């Protein structure tokens, strides 16, 4: 229900188009009921051998005589019997009104109607044809209008979806996963689209059609129509029972569709490994399972959907029978009541019965169509739940309500007693060990800090706190005395240059990749940054130079080349804080030494953090202080020589470095 309101708010800007489509639907439904009401004159002519002229004449005669009788009776009734006089007077006035109408029809309409019965019939058929044509035209208009509203609506929902995902923090994005995002923005929205479309077209038009027919049937004989309608609550019950199951099944199929996306992305995203390790079987099995899950879920939906249709049809026939059987009794026995219950104002004619039948059948057809789209609507509702869940997903790295002004960092970065725990999955009981345990570190502006330690000791986690990829569970991070949670993330990140472990490039030119994050940079600035990152040399050797397209995720370049481009990107941003997380791990050692030398110059007037495993001379020359981490704690900080003296872990690290260098 809430989702309906949500979708409604998206439709709201296009309400005029929508209202217009509803108007078209109303016109269609009127034509529908009118066409079916033609059963009345058709039966009159074909079976009772009446012509319209004859019918109107007899009606007028009956009315006139009954008015005459009533007026005569009125004169006999004494003036004191106010109530019965009023009754008769009311009846007379009603009859006079009908008389007036019929007389009008006789004078202004009947002259155009042929007297011959076959000609009349032919004319009725002609009108029927014209009405059907007009009905078709308005059906077309309605669907066109709804179609454009739906496309516009869905476009803005998809746009919002993408925007919402962009606003999310890194961890939440990681948890939801690219494949799930993709399936929500494609498959689930697609389900939603078709549901909104049938909603706008069928769910508006068909009930109107059914309503018009029912109203008409009520007009012909309300008692019999009422009998037919008793089936409706029963139908509602069945629909709601099926609805719940359908929704659950739809959710499950959408989740398995997301798994199919995931499987495709994972398999072909790591095609090189899959081929090298011949992992085909494993992935085929995974895909088979995801595919089978999808099949099972879909079959459940198909089964439920297939059941709904015949059931509604049976109920529909029951409803028609509920009116038709007593109706036929009335006609064939030529009476107006069954078992003393009055069912018709006067003995029914076969034409009335035929009309009621046509109108009730005309009611059932929309109901049948509605049951057909039921499954689609339920699928769409499940889809919209998933889509709106994404749109509503709150970032766990919230923006401050009243952000502080940020001036360029110039004095101190301090981490005060920070602890951090990665969110676990539910299977793990949401409990992972702490990745950081009460870490405190003060860094003066201008320092170059090396962070060293074994794999998984928490180095990357620690430095991810600075650009607020995530917030610490406990403790706080201050830049120049301001808690970074009080800064606008945009301002904060504009000061930070970040080169991550896995260097990610976009499928664009090298030039644009370097310029990413500083779109105003000139060609000279880009070239300068590329030179500093030791990238200019190899770039200029490429046939297209800076215009070389790097391929998906930079796949056309080697790992070291990618890292140098990423470094140039960070340098070009002119950050006050530079974070390099194993940024040169794939660069050859010669270039790495040059990069270290260049960074020494670049590091002036900035604070730099470098995570590295290589403790060579140029690197030690660059850094001012080394932080040794182990199991989420800082073991020691100090210069190379101090740490060699005081820290056993650092000594061990250095030993293994030396051994490696010797081996090389
Ligand atoms: P380092 O960079 O020192 O190798 P990390 O900071 O990447 O280590 O990781 C520290 C710990 O946190 C490790 O035990 C690792 O398993 C865990 N960890 C890292 N990233 C995630 C993540 N995205 N989700 C869950 N746990 C993580
Ligand atoms: Mg790391």
Please work out whether the CB of residue 497 comes within 6 Å of at least one atom of ligand 1.
no
Which whole number is the average pLDDT over 617-643? 92
DSSP string, 259-290: HHHHHHHHHHHTHHHHHHTTTHHHHHHHHHHH
> Which of 421, 435, 439, 633 should be mutated for ligand 1, with most atoms under 8 A from CB?
435
Which whole number is the average pLDDT over 267-273? 86
Please work out whether the CB of residue 460 comes within 6 Å of at least one atom of ligand 1.
yes
DSSP string, 450-514: EEEESTTSSHHHHHHTTTTSS--SEEEEEETTEEGGGB-HHHHHHTEEEE-SS----SSBHHHHH
Distance 234 CA to ligand 2 centre (A): 63
**CB-based contacts of 539, cutoff 8 Å, min separation 6:** 510, 530, 545, 546, 548
Q: What is the pLDDT of residue 623?
A: 93
| Residue 609 confidence (pLDDT) above 70 | yes
Residue 663: band (very low, low, confident or very high) from pLDDT cuts 50, 70, 90: confident
> Is residue 342 a part of any domain in this protein?
yes
> Is residue 183 a part of any domain in this protein?
yes
Q: Which ligand is nearest to the CA of 452?
A: 1
Residue 426: band (very low, low, confident or very high) from pLDDT cuts 50, 70, 90: low
Considering its fold, how many domains does the chain have in total?
A: 1
Residue 427: band (very low, low, confident or very high) from pLDDT cuts 50, 70, 90: low
d(CA 198, CA 113) in angstroms, rounded, equals 41
Tell me: the pLDDT tens digits for 62-119?
Answer: 889 989 988 888 888 887 888 888 888 888 888 899 899 889 988 888 888 887 878 8
Phi, psi (degrees; rounded to nearest 5) at 137: -60, -45
Name which residue sits closest to atom 24 of ligand 1, judged by CA. Answer: 422
Q: What is the pLDDT of residue 226?
A: 86
- Give the C-alpha distances (Å, rounded to integers) separating 389 from 6, 250, 655: 12, 15, 52
3-state secondary structure at position 40: helix
> Is residue 294 a part of any domain in this protein?
yes
DSSP string, 183-208: HIIIIIHHHHHHHHHHHHHHHHHHHH
Distance 628 CA to ligand 1 centre (A): 16
Q: What is the pLDDT of residue 30?
A: 92
Share of the chain above pLDDT 90, in %: 42
> Is residue 478 a part of any domain in this protein?
no
469 is written with which tokens? 């990829």
Q: Which ligand is nearest to the CA of 585?
A: 2
Please work out whether the CB of residue 459 comes within 6 Å of at least one atom of ligand 1.
yes
Distance 146 CA to ligand 2 centre (A): 52
Distance 523 CA to ligand 2 centre (A): 33
| Residue 606 confidence (pLDDT) above 90 | yes
Parent domain of 18: 2-51+115-392
Which whole number is the average pLDDT over 316-331? 85
> Is residue 245 a part of any domain in this protein?
yes
Please check whether residue 574 is in contact with residue 605, taking contact to mean a CB–CB distance below 8 angstroms: no
Phi, psi (degrees; rounded to nearest 5) at 342: -75, 125
Please work out whether the CB of residue 464 comes within 6 Å of at least one atom of ligand 1.
no
**CB-based contacts of 138, cutoff 8 Å, min separation 6:** 24, 25, 27, 28, 31
Name which residue sits closest to atom 25 of ligand 1, judged by CA. Answer: 422
Name which residue sits closest to atom 15 of ligand 1, judged by CA. Answer: 456
Residue 429: band (very low, low, confident or very high) from pLDDT cuts 50, 70, 90: low
* Closest alpha carbon to 304 in 252, 393, 251, 244: 244
- Where residue 336 sits, what CATH number does that domain have? 1.20.1560.10
**CB-based contacts of 219, cutoff 8 Å, min separation 6:** none
Q: H or E element: which one contains 110?
A: none
> Is residue 249 a part of any domain in this protein?
yes
Tell me: the pLDDT tens digits for 126-175?
Answer: 988 999 999 999 999 999 999 999 999 999 999 999 999 999 998 899 88
* Closest alpha carbon to 447 in 314, 303, 626, 203: 626
| Residue 125 confidence (pLDDT) above 90 | no
Which whole number is the average pLDDT over 626-654? 92
Q: Please, where are the H alpha helices in 334-345?
A: none
Please work out whether the CB of residue 10 comes within 6 Å of at least one atom of ligand 1.
no
Residue 245: band (very low, low, confident or very high) from pLDDT cuts 50, 70, 90: confident
Name which residue sits closest to atom 14 of ligand 1, judged by CA. Answer: 456
* Residues belonging to the chain: 664
| Residue 520 confidence (pLDDT) above 80 | yes
Question: Which residues make beta-bridge pairs with 341?
Answer: 338
- Has this prediction a pTM greater than 0.75? yes
Residue 614: band (very low, low, confident or very high) from pLDDT cuts 50, 70, 90: confident
Question: Which residues make beta-bridge pairs with 607?
Answer: 577
Please work out whether the CB of residue 456 comes within 6 Å of at least one atom of ligand 1.
yes
Tell me: the pLDDT tens digits for 460-493?
Answer: 999 999 999 999 999 999 999 999 999 999 999 9
Please work out whether the CB of residue 38 comes within 6 Å of at least one atom of ligand 1.
no
| Residue 569 confidence (pLDDT) above 70 | yes
Please check whether residue 521 is in contact with residue 578, taking contact to mean a CB–CB distance below 8 angstroms: no
> Is residue 168 a part of any domain in this protein?
yes
> Which of 431, 453, 460 should be mutated for ligand 1, with most atoms under 8 A from CB?
460
Q: What is the pLDDT of residue 457?
A: 93
Q: Which residue has the tokens 């602890």?
A: 419
> Is residue 413 a part of any domain in this protein?
no
Residue 339: band (very low, low, confident or very high) from pLDDT cuts 50, 70, 90: confident
> Which of 415, 456, 585, 610 should be mutated for ligand 1, with most atoms under 8 A from CB?
456
Distance 460 CA to ligand 2 centre (A): 4
Q: Which ligand is nearest to the CA of 451?
A: 1
Please check whether residue 40 is in contact with residue 354, taking contact to mean a CB–CB distance below 8 angstroms: yes
Please work out whether the CB of residue 612 comes within 6 Å of at least one atom of ligand 1.
no
Please work out whether the CB of residue 431 comes within 6 Å of at least one atom of ligand 1.
no
Mean confidence (pLDDT) of the chain: 88
| Residue 610 confidence (pLDDT) above 90 | yes
* Closest alpha carbon to 626 in 474, 502, 464, 459: 459
Distance 580 CA to ligand 2 centre (A): 10
């Amino acid at each position: 229900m809430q989702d309906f309101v949500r979708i409604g708010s998206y439709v709201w800007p296009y309400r005029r188009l929508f209202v217009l489509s509803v108007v078209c639907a109303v016109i269609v439904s009127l034509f529908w009921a009118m066409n079916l009401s033609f059963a009345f004159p058709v039966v009159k002519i074909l079976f009772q051998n009446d012509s319209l002229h004859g019918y109107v004449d007899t009606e007028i005669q009956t009315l006139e005589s009954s008015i005459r009788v009533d007026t005569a009776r009125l004169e006999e009734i004494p003036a004191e019997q106010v109530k019965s006089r009023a009754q008769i007077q009311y009846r007379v006035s009603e009859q006079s009104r009908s008389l007036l109408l019929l007389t009008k029809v006789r004078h202004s309409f009947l002259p155009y109607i042929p007297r011959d019965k076959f000609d009349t019939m032919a004319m009725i058929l002609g009108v029927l044809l014209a009405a059907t044509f007009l009905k078709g035209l308005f059906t077309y208009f309605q669907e066109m209008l709804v179609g454009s509203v739906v496309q516009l609506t869905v476009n803005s929902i998809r746009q919002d979806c993408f925007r919402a995902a962009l606003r999310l923090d890194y961890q939440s994005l990681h948890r939801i996963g690219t494949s799930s995002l993709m399936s929500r923005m494609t498959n689930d929205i697609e389900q939603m689209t078709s549901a909104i479309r049938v909603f706008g077209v069928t769910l508006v038009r068909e009930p109107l059609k059914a309503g018009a027919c029912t109203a008409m049937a009520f007009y012909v004989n309300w008692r019999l129509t009422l009998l037919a309608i008793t089936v409706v609550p029963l139908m509602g019950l069945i629909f709601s029972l099926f609805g719940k199951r359908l929704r659950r099944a739809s959710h499950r199929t959408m989740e398995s569709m997301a798994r199919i996306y995931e499987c495709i992305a994972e398999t072909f995203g790591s095609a090189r490994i899959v081929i090298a390790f011949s992992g085909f079987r494993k992935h085929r099995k995974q895909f088979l399972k995801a595919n089978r899950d999808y099949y099972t879920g879909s079959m459940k939906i198909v089964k439920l959907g297939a059941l709904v249709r015949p059931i509604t049809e049976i109920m529909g026939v029951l409803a028609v029978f509920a009116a038709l059987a007593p109706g036929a009794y009335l006609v064939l026995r030529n009476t107006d009541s069954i078992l003393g219950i009055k069912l018709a104002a006067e003995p029914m004619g076969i034409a009335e019965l035929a009309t009621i039948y046509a109108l009730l059948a005309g009611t059932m057809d929309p109901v049948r169509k509605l049951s057909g789209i039921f499954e689609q609507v339920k699928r769409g509702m499940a889809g919209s739940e998933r889509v709106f869940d994404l749109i509503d997903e709150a970032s766990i790295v919230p923006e401050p309500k009243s952000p502080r002004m940020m001036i360029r960092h110039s004095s101190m970065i301090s981490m005060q007693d920070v602890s951090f725990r990665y969110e676990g999955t539910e299977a793990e009981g949401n409990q992972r060990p702490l990745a950081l345990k009460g870490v405190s570190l003060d860094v003066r502006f201008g320092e170059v800090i090396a962070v060293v330690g074994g794999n998984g000791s928490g180095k990357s986690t620690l430095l991810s706190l600075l650009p607020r990829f995530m917030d610490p569970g406990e403790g706080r991070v201050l830049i120049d005395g301001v808690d970074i949670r009080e800064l606008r993330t945009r301002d904060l990140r504009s000061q930070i240059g970040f080169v991550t472990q896995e260097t990610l490039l976009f499928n664009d030119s090298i030039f644009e990749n370097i310029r990413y994050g500083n779109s105003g940079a000139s060609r000279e600035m880009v070239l300068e940054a590329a030179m500093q990152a030791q990238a200019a040399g190899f770039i200029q050797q490429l046939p297209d130079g800076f215009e070389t397209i790097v391929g998906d995720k930079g796949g056309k370049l080697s790992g070291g080349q990618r890292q140098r481009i990423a470094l140039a990107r960070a340098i070009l941003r002119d950050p006050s804080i530079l974070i390099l997380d194993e940024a040169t791990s794939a660069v050859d050692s010669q270039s790495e030494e040059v990069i270290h030398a260049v960074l020494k110059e670049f590091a002036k007037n900035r604070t730099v953090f470098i995570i590295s495993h290589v403790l060579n001379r140029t690197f030690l020359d660059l850094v001012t202080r080394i932080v040794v981490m182990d199991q989420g704690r800082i073991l020691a900080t100090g210069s190379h020589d101090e740490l060699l003296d005081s820290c056993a872990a650092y000594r061990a690290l250095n030993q293994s470095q030396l051994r490696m260098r010797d081996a090389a």
